[in-house]
Amino acid sequence: MTVGTMMNAAQMEAIAARHPHLLKGSSSKRIRSILIFAGIALYMIYSWWFFSIGQVLVNANWGIAGTYLADWVSYEVRPDIKIAADGTMQVVYPRFSPLGPNAKPEWVKIETKMVDRTIDVPVATQQVAPKKGSSFSFMAPKSAVGSSAEAGARTETRIEEVVSRATINFNRTTSIDVSDGKVAAKHNGETLLIDLDRSTGVTPEGSLPEWATQKRPGEKITLAFGMTGWADVDVEKISIHNRFPGWANFIFDTNSPFFNKSFGEVASLIVSGDRLDPSRSNLSLAWNNILYNSEWQHLDVWTKLLQTIVMAFVGTLFASIIAFPLCFLAARNITRNGVLNQVTKRFFDFLRSVDMLIWALFFTRAFGPGPLAGMSAIFFTDTGTLGKLYSEALENIDDKQREGVKSVGAAPLAVQRFGVLPQVLPVFASQALYFWESNTRSATIIGAVGAGGIGLKLWEAMRTNSDWENVCYMVILILIVVFIFDSVSNLLRSRLMGQKTH
């Protein structure tokens, strides 16, 4: 304790001078690490050029990315306000609107009035008119009423109920009001007035606020309201895209008799209501409507998900069953035959190195698309991987137990059973469980090439670029399954190995 632990600077320098190799790394080591980093940096620059990443990222359609992402968790309702030449309007919903037919949402306020309208009756209508009623006529029968055999276009006048004013309320601060060829759009306290005129086109009054864009004077104006939606204002048509959070019609689709009913109404219909379909109970009708929901296809999604699970389960189980006896042949301390060891090991390598993709493509040809193909692909690849791992585990066993069993005169099979198996079985089971879990993930991908499971369904939903909410639904299901399997397999493995493993 008499010697102070504090050193002055000179002492420290003296120590540093005496042991330079301890305080400064060897120069070759330093240069090597610098070289490695420089190499990696150079490689990244090369890849950037090789894939022309910068260019692709610049040319990408980032504007649409936001919409696609928003589609995951929300949906749009798209009414169109059509403006006829005489200024009368119509509010039209597309055919597959999530609101179903005869929609009268609260956020669309309509004022109607009765007017005398002069309507052009095109020549074509008159010629088609005699065929009225046949399935080939695409014209509405009403417009042909009163037509005669006169040649040439003509007009007729009748009294009709038309929309004179339409107000779309996106939310409290955002609304679009259309009447008399004028559009008043309000957003965040700003108001934009737009004149619609057939001859001069679309003209804003005053300057455009930030949320409105017009490419050329007279052309359509796009109003972007962020997450609440957007609208295109043109002379003849105003397209409204009103976005709502959530998934539309997740339980019942628009064709179902239970559509648009509250939970209480559905429950009371099921419990005590009259039969909606005389041939079956309301409960079975409701369940059937849920399963065959045309938008969400619950039954199909669940079936495909189960296929994915089954593929991983059966593939891994068979792989471990086949790899189990073979690994004894491959381990050089169990089978003392170099040729046999090498043949088995190379066989494992072969199965492993032919990619799971290649196996999947071949078996899809053999069995047709479906889980059998994916199952076989996982089985073939994993027989190789598990075989390799198992034989490595066998080669690392403690020989003393085996010698002990051998020394009491046990038969060769008993030596393996009591001298080897107890050591490796937990390892084997743990590795099989680990692959079961990781295969559940990879089974999703090979499904996309046709080998069954949810992969193909996911891929198809993505290809249309309009079903992102279905993609989200399937991703959530997959994540749930993966997390459950992850924890089950972790739990089982830590019990098997008697400690936390990864």
Range 398-437, binding other proteins (CB under 8 A): 431, 434-435
Out of 201, 226, 369, 426, name the contact with other proteins by CB under 8 A. 369
Q: Quick one: tokens of 149?
A: 């055999």
Letter string b/e over residues 387-422, b meaning 16 or more CB atoms within 10 A of that residue's CB:
bbbbbebbeebeeebbeebbeeebeeeebbebbbee
CB closer to other proteins, 112 vs 303: 303
Out of 164, 438, 490, 494, name the contact with other proteins by CB under 8 A. 438
| Beta carbons within 8 Å of 4's beta carbon, 6+ residues apart | none
CB closer to other proteins, 240 vs 474: 474
CB 242, min distance to other proteins, A: 23
CB 381, min distance to other proteins, A: 9
Range 310-329, binding other proteins (CB under 8 A): 310-311, 313-314, 317
Out of 329, 332, 392, 490, name the contact with other proteins by CB under 8 A. 392
Range 26-85, binding other proteins (CB under 8 A): 40, 43-44, 47, 50-51, 53, 56-57, 59-62, 64-65, 68
- Binding mask of the shown chain, residues 122 to 161, with x at each position contacting other proteins by CB under 8 A: ----------------------------------------
Range 452-481, binding other proteins (CB under 8 A): 452, 455, 458-459, 462-463, 465, 471, 475, 478-479
> Cα–Cα distance between 63 and 476 in angstroms, integer?
25
Is residue 367 exposed (0-12), middle (13-18) or buried (19+ Cβ within 10 Å)? middle
200 within 8 A of 149, measured Cβ to Cβ: no
CB closer to other proteins, 221 vs 356: 356
Indicate whether 362 belongs to the interface with other proteins (CB under 8 A). Answer: yes
Reduced 3-state DSSP string for 289-330: HHHCCCCCCHHHHHHHHHHHHHHHHHHHHHHHHHHHHHHHHH
CB 428, min distance to other proteins, A: 13
CB 420, min distance to other proteins, A: 19
CB closer to other proteins, 119 vs 322: 322
What single string gives the DSSP state of each residue in 109-145?
A: EEEEEEEEEEEEE-HHHHHHGGGTTSTT--S-GGGGT
DSSP reduced 3-state for 5: coil
Calculate the alpha carbon distances from 60 to 65, 213, 473 in Å. Answer: 9, 21, 26
Out of 344, 380, 449, 470, name the contact with other proteins by CB under 8 A. 449
> Cα–Cα distance between 332 and 334 in angstroms, integer?
5
CB closer to other proteins, 103 vs 482: 482
440 within 8 A of 482, measured Cβ to Cβ: yes
Residue type, 22: L
